[in-house]
């Protein structure tokens, strides 16, 4: 296999950020001890927010009324697509029942969690789409109580469009909170929330660390790092389109890597020559973030064949994977490690990030090797049950007792043999 790096990311330290871990640990301990008082204190210190934490029904309706009608229609369009896709996913999740041996019936049930906490980022950007992705999917799954949170802006609170999206998707409670304090409030069930069974949604490194520390006591969607994207392109791809797709994903942040894997040196060189001029067209702070991501985090890799390109892509296991190449069905069958796949020049990760339907909460940092993204499955427990009659119980008891004694577990053996009587 012969691959050539025409551009390679700078090496970065792999050590965990102990400062973030220490800060988050102190905050979670404080909130565990002092509850709502500590949350209010952090909200004021970190976000400058001194208003109500729980958004009242009146405030919710007022915020929704301020959203322009055309934006409402755009949000409704995205919500409908996301809901329909989630409903199709749910339809694939079946319950079953089987007679394993005569008289022994076993089965499987699908039970949604009771409560979910949905985090909607709101720092540099107002992530309307994240509200749609998390809350809609939880609602379709059958979650009974959904709490939604998002960082506030001083003297404003959560942006109106995010409140509208949360309301449209069915959030039962909206909290004017962001950061670690928001994660802790949902986990503990503060400000009228039900303690969350699962916490979902993207966030900054502090939010991700809080979710990681709370995992076990509550479920989480995944351990998330900075967003990443890879484009596979051959000689048929358009240089300008590939370059914009890379730039648009670098816009997420300075730590968001973008990668180009191609079988065409001409295309690679053309893309590299276009990226900087395109970045210069972005407003600030988007421009600075994209420029740093491109110069420090981007790889451009030249491969001899499409099989080599597929192997490279599978090793990267990107969160987002675009293919702009011939024979799209071959790529669909061949590629095996990605969060979400975008096939053909007519589609783009931007569609998936905002409106097209499949969830945009996806595995990062190579986690696509072993897991997929947020879906109705994340909000659902697949549980099993069994029962048996006297005939089945008799055979099970004899065999269970013998295996148990071989293992040295006498209590198990006697519990089994009781069924013989």
Percent of the chain at pLDDT above 70?
98
- Under the banding of pLDDT at 50, 70 and 90, the label for residue 17 is confident
Residue where a domain terminates, one of 220, 248, 264: 220
User: How far is it, in rounded angstroms, from Cα 404 to Cα 414?
Assistant: 9
Are 40 and 85 in a shared domain? Answer: yes
Are 274 and 302 in a shared domain? Answer: yes
Residue numbers annotated as active site: 319-320
Q: What is the pLDDT of residue 16?
A: 54
How many other β-carbons are positioned within 10 Å of the β-carbon of residue 130?
27
User: How far is it, in rounded angstroms, from Cα 202 to Cα 56?
Assistant: 25
Overall average pLDDT of the 301-307 stretch: 97
Q: Tell me the CA distances in angstroms from 407 to 395, 400, 403, 404, 416, one per residue in order.
A: 19, 11, 6, 5, 14
Are 78 and 211 in a shared domain? Answer: yes
Domain of residue 179, residue span:
18-220
How many other β-carbons are positioned within 10 Å of the β-carbon of residue 31?
24
Q: At what angle do helices 265-279 and 286-297 cross, to 10 degrees?
A: 150
**CB neighbours of 332 closer than 8 A, spacing ≥ 6?**
341, 343
Are 254 and 238 in a shared domain? Answer: yes
Overall average pLDDT of the 271-299 stretch: 96
Q: Mean pLDDT for the chain?
A: 95
DSSP H helices in 142-224 = 160-169, 179-188, 205-214
Residue 96 located in a structural domain: yes
**Under a CB-based contact definition with an 8 Å cutoff, are residues 314 and 334 in contact?**
no
Per-residue pLDDT tens over the stretch 313-331: 999 999 999 999 999 999 9
Are 87 and 171 in a shared domain? Answer: yes
In DSSP notation, 81-138 reads HHHHHHHHHHHT---EEEEEETTEEEEEEEEE-SEEEEE---SSS--HHHHHHHHHHH
Q: Which helix (H) or strand (E) holds 305?
A: none
Look up the pTM and report it.
Answer: 0.93
Q: At what angle do helices 390-407 and 410-418 cross, to 10 degrees?
A: 170
Per-residue pLDDT tens over the stretch 19-78: 999 999 999 999 999 999 999 999 999 999 999 999 999 999 999 999 999 999 999 999
User: How far is it, in rounded angstroms, from Cα 183 to Cα 209?
Assistant: 10
**Under a CB-based contact definition with an 8 Å cutoff, are residues 112 and 142 in contact?**
yes
Residue 279 located in a structural domain: yes
Could you give the number of structural domains in the chain? 3
Residue 2 located in a structural domain: no
pLDDT at 220 > cutoff 70:
yes
Q: With CA atoms as reference, report the closest residue to 179 among 363, 24, 54.
A: 24
Are 349 and 230 in a shared domain? Answer: yes
Per the structure block, which two tokens stand in for 176? 């004017």
Are 270 and 363 in a shared domain? Answer: yes
What is the DSSP secondary structure assignment for residue 255, as one 8-state letter? T
User: How far is it, in rounded angstroms, from Cα 252 to Cα 258?
Assistant: 10
Are 43 and 184 in a shared domain? Answer: yes
Q: What is the pLDDT of residue 124?
A: 72
Are 52 and 196 in a shared domain? Answer: yes
- Under the banding of pLDDT at 50, 70 and 90, the label for residue 154 is confident
For the CA atoms of 402, 407, 410, 411, the dihedral, rounded to the nearest 10 degrees, stands at: -100
More confident: 287 or 124: 287
Q: What is the pLDDT of residue 1?
A: 55
Per-residue pLDDT tens over the stretch 242-252: 999 999 999 99
């Amino acid at each position: 296999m012969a691959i050539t790096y025409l551009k390679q990311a700078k090496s970065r330290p792999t050590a965990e950020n102990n400062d973030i871990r220490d800060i988050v640990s102190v905050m979670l301990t404080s909130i565990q001890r002092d509850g709502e008082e500590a949350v209010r204190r952090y909200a004021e210190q970190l976000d400058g927010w001194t208003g109500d934490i729980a958004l009242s029904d009146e405030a919710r309706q007022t915020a929704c009324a301020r959203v322009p009608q055309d934006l409402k229609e755009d949000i409704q369009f995205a919500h409908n697509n996301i809901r329909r896709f989630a409903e199709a996913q749910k339809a694939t999740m079946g319950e079953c029942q089987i007679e394993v041996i005569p008289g022994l019936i076993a089965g499987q049930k699908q039970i949604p969690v009771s409560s979910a906490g949905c985090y909607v980022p709101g720092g540099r950007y107002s992530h309307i789409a994240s509200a749609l992705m998390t809350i809609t999917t939880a609602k379709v799954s059958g979650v009974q109580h959904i709490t939604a949170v998002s960082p506030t802006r001083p003297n404003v609170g959560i942006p109106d469009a995010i409140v509208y999206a949360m309301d449209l998707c069915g959030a039962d409670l909206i909290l004017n909170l962001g950061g670690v304090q928001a994660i802790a409030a949902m986990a503990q069930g503060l400000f009228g929330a039900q303690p969350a069974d699962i916490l979902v949604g993207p966030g900054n490194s502090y939010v991700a660390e809080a979710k990681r520390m709370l995992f076990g006591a509550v479920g989480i969607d995944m351990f998330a790092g900075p967003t990443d994207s890879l484009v596979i392109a051959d000689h048929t791809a358009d240089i300008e389109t590939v370059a914009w797709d890379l730039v648009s994903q670098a816009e997420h942040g300075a730590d968001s890597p973008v990668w180009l894997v191609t079988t065409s040196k001409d295309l690679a060189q053309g893309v590299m020559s276009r990226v900087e001029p395109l970045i210069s067209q972005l407003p600030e702070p988007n421009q600075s973030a994209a420029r740093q991501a491109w110069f420090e985090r981007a790889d451009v890799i030249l491969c001899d064949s499409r099989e080599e390109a597929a192997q490279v892509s599978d090793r990267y296991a990107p969160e987002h994977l675009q293919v702009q190449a011939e024979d799209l069905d071959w790529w669909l069958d061949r590629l095996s490690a990605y969060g979400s796949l975008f096939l053909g020049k007519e589609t783009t990760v931007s569609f998936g990030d905002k409106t097209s339907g499949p969830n945009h909460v996806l595995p990062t940092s190579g986690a696509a090797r072993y897991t997929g993204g947020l879906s109705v499955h994340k909000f659902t427990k697949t549980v099993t049950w069994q029962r048996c009659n006297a005939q089945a119980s008799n055979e099970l008891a004899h065999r269970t007792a013998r295996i148990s004694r071989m293992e040295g577990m006498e209590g198990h053996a006697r519990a089994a043999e009781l069924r013989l009587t």
